Amino acid sequence: MHDPINKELTVPLTAAEAFALFTDEIDSWWPKAKHSVRGADSKVTFADHKDGEIIETAADGSQEVWGKIIAYDPGKYLAFSWHPGRPAEEATVVTVSFTQKEDGTLCELTHGGFDILGDTADAVSTSYLHGWDFVLGCYAGAVRKLVMA
């Protein structure tokens, strides 16, 4: 059994703003050059409802589904299956909560369910352990730009 990955950061935004940046504005901060299926010129969209999809669209119009929204509570919580570049049957699960605090919003990301990947679970979970640090660093960079604007 593989333990889930847990990451957190506090951002100087309201919970509603932090949530909207993470979802509605994902294409503005997601590091597509390093963490995508279709490359840096693609566009990432995050559905705004349960059962919607996270989709990467390449410049030529081809699409890759990264996951499906399991729970969507704006400004508070989301959960989604996660399988960029893999079949939906190999999806892991990511949850992100947004908790309003005195000094901003605590964003807590948990990524688990790696056992579904069988023999590759160790390698994939190790890759995401470091990958989420990079991705959340890009999110934090977008927060800084937003606050300074």
Residue 136 vs residues 50, 59, 85, 116, 120: alpha-carbon distances, Å = 23, 25, 20, 24, 24
Percent of the chain with pLDDT strictly greater than 70: 100
Going by the DSSP 8-state scheme, the letter that residue 91 receives in this structure is -
Going by the DSSP 8-state scheme, the letter that residue 49 receives in this structure is S
Please determine, for residue 74, whether its predicted confidence score (pLDDT) is greater than 80. yes
Tell me the whole-structure pTM to 2 decimals: 0.95
Q: What integer pLDDT is reported at residue 51 of this predicted model?
A: 97
> Is residue 20 within a helix (H) or strand (E), and if so which, with residue range?
helix 15-23
Each residue's pLDDT tens digit, 85-120: 999 999 999 999 999 999 999 999 999 999 999 999
Closest by CA to 105, choosing from 23, 17, 14, 22, is: 14
Q: What integer pLDDT is reported at residue 12 of this predicted model?
A: 97
Average pLDDT over residues 26-38: 96
